[in-house]
Amino acid sequence: MHSSPDTLAAPATLDFTTDLAVVARTLRTTLSSLLLSLGLDPGDPQALVRRWGMNRQLSWKIAKVVQLHDPFVALQHLPGNEGLAMVLKKAQEAGASAASIEAVRLAAQDVDRLIDRHCGDRASFDIMGSALSPAEPARQQQEALRKQFFQGASSIWGAQTKVNLVSWFVAPSASGDPNTVDVVSIKAWLGFRRLRENLSWVISRHMSRQDDGSFLKLPEPEALDTASSWTVPLMRDFCSQTQPSISVKEDADRLTVSLAPGPVGNAGQVSCVFGKLHRNLQHVRNAQNHHFRFFCDLNIPAETTLFDLYIHRSMAYAIPPVVMLSSLIEPREPEAEHNRLPLSEPVLSLGSPSPAPLTLDVPRYDEMLALVFARTGWYANDFVGFRIRLAYAPLPAMLSMTYELP
């Protein structure tokens, strides 16, 4: 008996994730059954080339649809109507049953219905699907979308930087107090330029908060470069020859450091690197704090964001840290579940920073690390590093690395 289209169509639901999985599974199953019925290996990308003289790219796409278990990525490889029609025509000529050909055709139509029902258009489908998929093609899709956002944000906000670098180091306190740690922070904007005249830009705010969002007063840090002050702790040897002009504003509970207005475009391009040493920070679990957090502010359109954390090996409970990308639309609750943003990039284990990890985005990165260890008296081999590298990071947002306090 010939089945009607309604009988063969995958059942629709109101849930996009469920519908996506059903539609993809139905398509993969019907395609696989069709190929097997004709004595072809669905997992062999060259099968259609050898047996039917099919175009290699088209044969590869069909094999990927069948092989890939990630529903979004599998559907990304589905050929267009013309390509699929060519495959089904070859299958008919090879003696496939009308029912098996019709099953594939209807399964492909369900993909279009899925997009119409849940997304409205293909661009929205790519956004919604990539957010569900940890696979490499989904990561590339997210990066392409973030690049569009970077270009728009640069135009609207009037500034951008090539590299946003944040590196943290944490070790047991040199004072010997088991309830405190010493911490070094390096923050750099490399290749910052204004796209509008008379533009000032906040680089950092010296402040800290507890788990509940309340203000936590910290002891004053020291400049990593002893020739600088802690309020503007420039590491001058690593800044551009044209020294950045800095303005400082003090409020009751925070210190705000900003790049002062300057020339637009490449004529006013600067690189600025800041380094601080924080001694004897409280590092014990209590009613207000269960975690220790390190932040990388995403507050400027940046082509590349590098976020590194180096942890002393004696702090085994902190290894590896938990990484999170959060929206700052609600800045007092950045780690709330509804503020979390998708992050497909892997956490890279850097191992010991001796020798320093190859970091092509940051000139003289090895010298920056050498200065940290010379200033603190730490040994590089006693640390293990972790890195997130994010192209065209979203903003306003925040990357964080966190571990539970002992």
Above 70 in pLDDT, residue 212?
no
H or E stretch covering 105: helix 98-118
For the ranges 63-67, 275-279, 293-297, which has the lowest average pLDDT? 63-67
Of residues 235 and 346, more confidence is placed in 235
User: Cβ of 311: how many Cβ atoms within 10 Å?
Assistant: 24
pLDDT in tens, 223-257: 898 888 777 888 999 998 877 777 777 776 667 77
Given pLDDT bands bounded at 50, 70 and 90, which one contains residue 141? confident
User: Cβ of 167: how many Cβ atoms within 10 Å?
Assistant: 26
Helix, strand and coil in the chain, % to nearest 5: 35, 25, 35
Its CATH class, for the domain covering 142-404, is mainly beta
Phi, psi of 215 (to 5 degrees): -70, 135
> In this structure, are strands 383-391 and 246-250 parallel, antiparallel, or unpaired?
unpaired
| pLDDT at 253 (0 to 100) | 64
Phi, psi of 205 (to 5 degrees): -125, 120
The full set of domain ranges for the chain reads: 5-132, 142-404
Decide: pTM greater than 0.85. Answer: no
